[in-house]
Amino acid sequence: MTTDPTWTDHIFAITLFAEDLPAARAFYQRVFGLPVHFEGETSAVFRFGGTLINILAIGQADELITPARAADPGAGVRAVYTLQVDDVDAWCAELSARGVTLLNGPMDRPWGIRTASFQDPMGTVWEIARDL
């Protein structure tokens, strides 16, 4: 067993499963304003700072997760990814201009942050936040 305490200091990649890869790719390009870092027939990868977000066609999920199975997108949200921003309200306006409908916010949370949330085409929830 490793005793290296730094092995969890950096998330290298997160893979999200997409039923409609072209729609997901277009959403990430439009909403986040990011270029495609890598693209293949079944995936599109975007770089969020030091973390890669891999959008993978749902048909390829089994190869990665068997014997587990990918959940149906209608099963409900199981994760939220948070991006820290300087001005939540300004980003809400920018996201609206990019065609995004907010799930909630902007709002001040009792734990001391201001947040707003939205979903990508696969149902993944993204949150923007800043300390109050």
Residue 4 belongs to a domain: no
What confidence tens digit (pLDDT) does each residue in 99-128 have? 999 999 999 999 999 999 999 999 999 999
On whether both 59 and 15 belong to a single domain, the answer is yes
On whether both 97 and 49 belong to a single domain, the answer is no
Query: Is the predicted pLDDT of residue 82 greater than 80, yes or no?
Result: yes
Across the chain, mean pLDDT equals 93
Residue 35 belongs to a domain: yes
Give the domain CATH number at 131.
Answer: 3.10.180.10
On whether both 102 and 119 belong to a single domain, the answer is yes
Range of the domain at 21: 11-70
* Residues 4-33 as b or e (16 or more Cβ within 10 Å = b): eeeeeeeeeeeebbbeebeebbebbeebbe
Residue 127 belongs to a domain: yes
Residue 6 belongs to a domain: no
| CA separation for the pair 124, 126 (Å, rounded) | 7
> What is the pLDDT averaged over residues 19-45?
96
On whether both 103 and 66 belong to a single domain, the answer is no
On whether both 64 and 38 belong to a single domain, the answer is yes
What percent of the chain stands above pLDDT 70?
Answer: 98
Residue 2 belongs to a domain: no
| CA separation for the pair 29, 35 (Å, rounded) | 6
Residue 40 belongs to a domain: yes
Residue 49 belongs to a domain: yes
What confidence tens digit (pLDDT) does each residue in 84-103 have? 999 999 999 999 999 999 99
Last residue of a domain, one of 46, 70, 94: 70
The reported pTM is 0.86
Model pLDDT, residue 2: 54
Model pLDDT, residue 77: 86
Residue 5 belongs to a domain: no
